[in-house]
Structure 1
Amino acid sequence: MGSTKQGMLYVLAAAVLWGSSGVCAQYIMEKSHIPSPWLTMTRLLFTGIILLTLSFVHGDKIFAILKKRKDAISLLIFSLVGALTVQLTFLLTIEKSNAATATVLQFLSPTIIVTWLALVRKARPTPPVVAAIFTSLTGTFLLVTHGNLTSLSISPQALLWGIASAFSAAFYTTYPSALIARYGTLPIVGWSMLLAGLMLTPFFGGQGESVAVDGHLLMAFFYLVVIGTALTFSLYLKGAQMIGGSKASILSCAEPLSSALLSVVLLGVAFSLPDWLGTLLIVSSVLLIAWDSRRKMRLASASA
């Protein structure tokens, strides 16, 4: 298998697994009545430990960032506003609605990023970006209202947390680029998750004491942490390195689609025609942004 095909397979598998992790989190919360903050805390703690262990085995100097005060402060900011916030708002959205809706709303983050960059740089957005903004807003409208201006198809809390999740994901994607360039992806993401989990522990550490744990619940938690988070992240990272970020972002569109399909099939979530249309429109906005990014790269290389 060629490296490009292998990389595409890695990214596609990661996208599907990411979609399934939200479904798994919904199953855990529905079956055990575990509060979303406690599940967020434990997911972050275990995933952080796993990623840092993988990074150490890989030969990374995982403690180097802690020795530089400025970078350590940046890591703390990323841990709090990035890792903690994006995971907590995502699981809160699932708790208030379902995994499919939470995943699709979080997929608004690329549109938020390109809109923010256009405003900061005071640059007129390109036609594909304008189309992406329009399709994402239309998709969100269909998803949360089903086309009815007088009512919401999801709770106001779910909409609030879902939009917050998208903004958090935008920050999570853009903020740590300088840190990652200096220290590597695994150490930064591993530390951010571990620190975020530790930040939540004093507030929510005791919420899981009354949970009745059985074999199915343990298997689901193992899948959420090891397969749906740690392995998934490693697959995506490896695949993106092999095929490039633009292609990876296109293939990652399988994430909300897989989440929606698995939610319907495994959890019996009702997904109506407006829900599917809204999902496809939001996915198409990501495709437009990725296409515009590739077009700019081709123009830049041609003029070089």
Structure 2
Amino acid sequence: MSSQFLTMTRLLFAGLILLTLSFIQGETIFRIFKNRQDAISLLVFSLVGALAVQLTFLMTIEKFNAATATVLQFLSPTIIVAWFSLVRKSRPGILVFAAIGTSLLGTFLLVTHGDPTSLTISGSALFWGIASAFAAAFYTTWPSRLIARYGTLPIVGWSMLIGGAMLLPFYAGQGGDFVITGNVLLAFFYLVVIGTSLTFSLYLKGAQLICGPKASILSCTEPLSSTFLSLLLLGITFTVSDWLGTLMILSSVILISLDSRRRVITHQA
């Protein structure tokens, strides 16, 4: 399947699942469309958030591999704190400065292996990987007001369904040259139900039970597990520079989480 076709079908089915769960739980899933401003905000989130983050991520995998795609997407926390520092014209703390530095250095090692004259991944893979990080940053920050007003499942469900529908006119008949088999159906079921709907629900539940910084730190297991599974199942090799770059990017997430925790403690005090 092409990345575009897979993104379209993944979003459509995952959106339907999440909206169905929301409806079963008694949510009024159509309420947002009664407010014109919120409906427009949802459309923006569907295009630049849900659709962009899924498509850029799968395009990075298509152009290179899953491990590198996951690691590059974890640049998003650094992008978020840097953006808010610029908007608010506030000087970042030492931990945020350290996070920005380690993320940039980690990306440099990951894509050049320490040689600034050459790239170890294709230019297109690097483009889609960086775009995935920016899309993930937007996806994380934009819908906060909508979620507070209408709930998480309706907003994410509608954004996925609308995002998938946006691709229908272009890729509905361009799935690629593949034959539907039991293995294909099983893989698609895993991607949509377990890899999207269930994973999202589990993360939300975990974030409710523990504080945000702890959730962010625990989420660092995602690129590590992706890397290990790619090594074991797909035969992808990681060099020492790849591992160092990965660990530096993940350490930036931990530093940002520690800075957030410090700010919360200071505010409470």
Q: TM exceeds 0.5?
A: yes
Among 139, 154, 162, the alignment partner of 1:187 is: 154
Q: Distance in 1 between the 2:261 and 2:212 partners?
A: 10
* Number of equivalent positions: 269
Q: Which residue of 2 aligns with 1:84?
A: 51
Q: Distance in 2 between the 1:170 and 1:257 partners?
A: 20
% identical aligned pairs: 71
Instruction: State whether residues 23 and 29 of structure 2, in contact with CA within 8 Å, keep that contact through their aligned partners in structure 1.
Output: yes
Among 76, 79, 87, the alignment partner of 1:120 is: 87
Shift in Å, 1:209: 6.4
Among 76, 80, 87, the alignment partner of 1:109 is: 76
Shift in Å, 1:214: 1.2
Q: Which residue of 1 aligns with 2:109?
A: 142
The residue matched to 1:269 in structure 2 has which SS? coil
Q: Distance in 2 between the 1:144 and 1:210 partners?
A: 31
The residue matched to 1:42 in structure 2 has which SS? helix
Q: Deviations over 1:109-132 (max 9, x none)?
A: 000000001111111110000000
The residue matched to 1:213 in structure 2 has which SS? coil
Q: Which residue of 1 aligns with 2:238?
A: 271
The equivalences for 1:43-122 within 5 A come to 43-122=10-89
The equivalences for 1:1-304 within 5 A come to 34-208=1-175, 210-302=177-269
RMSD, aligned CA = 0.8
Over 3 Å counting, the alpha-carbon distance change for 1:293 and 1:259 in structure 2 is: same
Q: Deviations over 1:226-252 (max 9, x none)?
A: 001100000000110111212111100
Q: Distance in 1 between the 2:239 and 2:181 partners?
A: 33
The residue matched to 2:90 in structure 1 has which SS? coil
What letter corresponds to residue 209 of structure 2 in structure 1? M
Q: Distance in 2 between the 1:69 and 1:296 partners?
A: 36
Instruction: State whether residues 2 and 176 of structure 2, in contact with CA within 8 Å, keep that contact through their aligned partners in structure 1.
Output: no
Q: TM-score under structure 2 normalisation?
A: 0.99
Q: Distance in 1 between the 2:239 and 2:23 partners?
A: 46
Shift in Å, 1:57: 0.8
What letter corresponds to residue 241 of structure 1 in structure 2? Q
Shift in Å, 1:210: 3.9
Q: Distance in 2 between the 1:113 and 1:176 partners?
A: 14
List alignment gaps of at least 5 residues for structure 2: none
Q: Distance in 1 between the 2:200 and 2:22 partners?
A: 12
The residue matched to 1:284 in structure 2 has which SS? helix
Q: TM-score under structure 1 normalisation?
A: 0.87
List alignment gaps of at least 5 residues for structure 1: 1-33
The residue matched to 2:133 in structure 1 has which SS? helix
Instruction: State whether residues 32 and 38 of structure 2, in contact with CA within 8 Å, keep that contact through their aligned partners in structure 1.
Output: yes
Over 3 Å counting, the alpha-carbon distance change for 1:99 and 1:209 in structure 2 is: closer
The residue matched to 1:125 in structure 2 has which SS? coil
Q: Distance in 1 between the 2:43 and 2:212 partners?
A: 26
